[in-house]
A and B are shown apart, each in its own frame.
Chain A
Amino acid sequence: GAVVSQHPSRVICKSGTSVKIECRSLDFQATTMFWYRQFPKQSLMLMATSNEGSKATYEQGVEKDKFLINHASLTLSTLTVTSAHPEDSSFYICSARRTGLTEAFFGQGTRLTVV
């Protein structure tokens, strides 16, 4: 099946700093990628839809100025958590759907810890 890769898998940062998470589709082009957040013992919550060459679409309640999304190519989307705070500590997961296939594929996730 198609492969979606995230980097890094784990990151610890100091409060007030910014962290960038990369999501790559390794063997297919993805015009659209999706970013989710998952808190402990909860389900995945959609944060935003990342569109190649255009602005991302954010879900209600997600601060676009805090969670910057860039989808500069057909194989790469990045999520930057700006001015991170401890409450931003979470498991961030990206997803992409390959054109012509109905299923979506997910990255392995990034565990962000803000101290």
Chain B
Amino acid sequence: DAKTTQPPSMDCAEGRAANLPCNHSTISGNEYVYWYRQIHSQGPQYIIHGLKNNETNEMASLIITEDRKSSTLILPHATLRDTAVYYCIVGNQAGTALIFGKGTTLSVSS
């Protein structure tokens, strides 16, 4: 079973920041938090991941709480092309599969 809880859906206005929350209260010390997104009829696309510290790349920022029990993915300036299902996944670095939950459907509108 997935180890994360996400809201089923969120809406965001184009140009505004999209903040997607994720709860992972049972995360282990060696487990990372990964974020992927899936646009309709495509394979999941890697966005960002982190262990303890906040992370930022060209796509998004990841804010992880100090106790690591929750995190927030931030898309700073959402566009229509960011409409997708966003998955928050907890997993370790070893060669094991990522287990997907139901994710959050983000709808960006103009």
Contact = CB atoms under 8 A, between A and B. Distances in A.
Nearest to A102: B93
B97 A106 contact: no
Contact of B99 (A1, A46, A91, A105): A46
Contacts, number: 52
A95 B38 CA distance: 14
Interface in B18-69: 32, 34, 36, 38, 41-46, 49
Given A43-B103, A102-B49, A103-B34, A31 B95 contact: yes
Interface in A72-115: 91, 93, 95, 97, 102-109, 111
Given A43-B101, A43-B102, A44-B100, A108 B95 contact: no
Contacts of B97: 34, 46, 49, 95, 104
Number of chain A interface residues as a range: 20 to 34
Interface in A19-50: 31-32, 34, 36, 43-46, 49
Contacts of B87: 43
A107 B102 contact: no
Contacts of B100: 36, 43-45
A63 to B, nearest CB: 18
B80 interface: no
A1 B49 CA distance: 14
Interface of B: 32, 34, 36, 38, 41-46, 49, 87, 93, 95-103
26 contacts: A6-B43, A31-B95, A34-B97, A36-B100, A43-B100, A43-B101, A43-B102, A43-B103, A44-B38, A44-B100, A49-B96, A91-B41, A93-B44, A95-B44, A95-B97, A95-B98, A97-B95, A102-B34, A103-B49, A105-B46, A106-B44, A106-B45, A106-B46, A108-B43, A109-B42, A111-B41
